[in-house]
């Protein structure tokens, strides 16, 4: 019988995680607070699986079977029979802590993994019953394409939990790297300050967004410029991570650029809002 995995949050990351789980043979229960985001997620997952059929990576029959392994729920209780629950809710500490507190009460046996991109797993574990089963499982967008998963061990995380999550990542076709529970972990601690510095260049009038991205693509062999990447990640997410780094380290080098703050305040969040450093239709 296929293993049952829960995914909390039907946004972009939750959709991607659920799709990869489905195409890897898992039974998935996708949770969100309302039916509308779940309907959007199901459509997005169907579209993603359809692209795999077009590329010859899935057959029509395999797609149909994968679709049948997906169920949705607006009650956390529906996740009580899952072996692992992967949380992909918005990057807000209070929200995640409340979710983990409730999830830990569903069953003493569920492994609780968070897709947080920067928040402390040790703090999340501290609010849970059975904190030894709490761990970070940080995927990257787009999840069906990017192969990395950062596995973040809280102070309380057991060896068995780490082994189980690393095996899950491998079964999903991902490569995992072990990262200590430190603000921003590894990728975002390196990446987001670089993006923030690119935003400072725009803020200071040193260069245009187009020229900054061209320079990094042609001069540093980056496949995408830092400002286009910021738009893809979401400027609100970039700001939240910079705030976590600034708070966690108390170092002024992690000060968010004022332009980044203004753009977030204006709702210019990147691709998801249609406008960031570039315009999107």
Model pLDDT for residues 236-280, shown as the tens digit of each residue: 999 999 999 999 999 999 999 999 999 999 999 999 999 999 999
Instruction: Write down the H helix ranges in the chain.
Output: 12-23, 35-54, 60-68, 93-104, 121-126, 159-171, 187-203, 209-219, 226-233, 235-249, 258-265
> How is domain 188-273 classified at the CATH fold level?
1.10.1040
Q: What Cα–Cα distance (Å) separates residue 252 from each residue in 144, 238, 248?
A: 36, 16, 11
For residues 68 and 66, what is the distance between their CA atoms, to the nearest angstrom? 5
Beta bridge partners of 7: 30, 86
**Catalytic residue from among 104, 176, 188, 196:** 188
For the chain, the domains span 4-180, 188-273
- Annotated ligand binding at 13? The verdict is yes
Q: Write down the pLDDT at residue 281.
A: 86
For residues 137 and 134, what is the distance between their CA atoms, to the nearest angstrom? 10
- Annotated ligand binding at 36? The verdict is no
175-180 and 148-153 as β-strands: parallel, antiparallel, unpaired? parallel
- Model pTM score: 0.90
Q: What backbone torsions phi and psi does residue 16 show, to the nearest 5 degrees?
A: -65, -45
- Annotated ligand binding at 117? The verdict is yes
Q: Write down the pLDDT at residue 1.
A: 40
Cis peptide before 142 (omega within 30 of 0): yes
**Catalytic residue from among 150, 166, 176, 196:** 150
Q: Give me 280's structure tokens.
A: 């999107």
- Annotated ligand binding at 78? The verdict is no
Annotation marks residue 188 as catalytic? yes
**Catalytic residue from among 104, 115, 117, 120:** 117
Q: What is the tens place of the pLDDT at every residue in 209-242?
A: 999 999 999 999 999 999 999 999 999 999 999 9
Beta bridge partners of 5: 28, 84
Instruction: Find the helix packing angle between 187-203 and 235-249, rounded to 10°.
Output: 110
For residues 227 and 213, what is the distance between their CA atoms, to the nearest angstrom? 6
Annotation marks residue 43 as catalytic? no
Q: Write down the pLDDT at residue 2.
A: 62
- Annotated ligand binding at 9? The verdict is yes
- Annotated ligand binding at 11? The verdict is yes
Which residue stretches of the chain have pLDDT < 50?
Answer: 1
CATH of 4-180, one of 3.40.50.12780, 3.40.630.30, 3.40.50.720, 3.30.565.10: 3.40.50.720
Place of tokens 């607006």: 74
For residues 48 and 19, what is the distance between their CA atoms, to the nearest angstrom? 7
DSSP state of 83: S
For the chain, the average pLDDT equals: 96
Annotation marks residue 196 as catalytic? no
**Catalytic residue from among 138, 166, 176, 196:** 138
- Annotated ligand binding at 32? The verdict is yes
In degrees, rounded to 5, the angle at the alpha carbon of residue 139 between the alpha carbons of residues 180 and 20 is: 140
Q: Write down the pLDDT at residue 106.
A: 96
Annotation marks residue 203 as catalytic? no
């Amino acid at each position: 019988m296929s293993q049952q995995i829960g995914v909390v949050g039907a946004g972009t990351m939750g959709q991607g995680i659920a799709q990869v789980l489905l195409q890897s043979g898992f039974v998935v229960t996708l949770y969100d607070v309302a039916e509308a985001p779940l309907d959007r997620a199901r459509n997005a997952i169907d579209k993603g699986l359809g692209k795999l059929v077009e590329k010859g990576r899935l057959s029509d029959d395999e797609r149909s079977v994968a679709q049948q392994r997906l169920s949705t729920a607006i009650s956390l209780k529906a996740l009580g029979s899952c072996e692992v629950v992967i949380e992909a809710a918005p990057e807000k500490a209070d929200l995640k802590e409340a979710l983990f507190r409730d999830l830990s009460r569903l069953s003493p046996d569920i492994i609780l993994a968070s897709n947080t991109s920067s928040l402390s797993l040790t703090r999340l574990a501290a609010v849970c019953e059975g904190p030894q089963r709490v761990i970070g499982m940080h995927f990257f967008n787009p999840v069906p394409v990017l192969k990395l998963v950062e596995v973040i061990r809280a102070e309380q995380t057991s060896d068995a939990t780490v082994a189980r999550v690393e095996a899950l990542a491998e079964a999903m076709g991902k490569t995992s790297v072990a990262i200590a529970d430190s603000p921003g972990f590894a990728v975002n601690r390196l990446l987001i300050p670089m993006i923030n510095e690119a935003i400072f260049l725009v803020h200071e009038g040193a260069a245009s967004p187009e020229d900054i991205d061209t320079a990094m693509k042609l001069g540093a062999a980056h496949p995408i410029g830092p400002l286009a990447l910021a738009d893809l990640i979401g400027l609100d997410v970039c700001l939240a991570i910079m705030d976590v780094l600034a708070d966690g380290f108390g170092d002024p080098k992690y000060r968010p650029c004022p332009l980044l703050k203004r753009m977030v305040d204006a709702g210019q969040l990147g691709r998801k809002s249609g406008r960031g450093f570039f315009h999107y239709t």
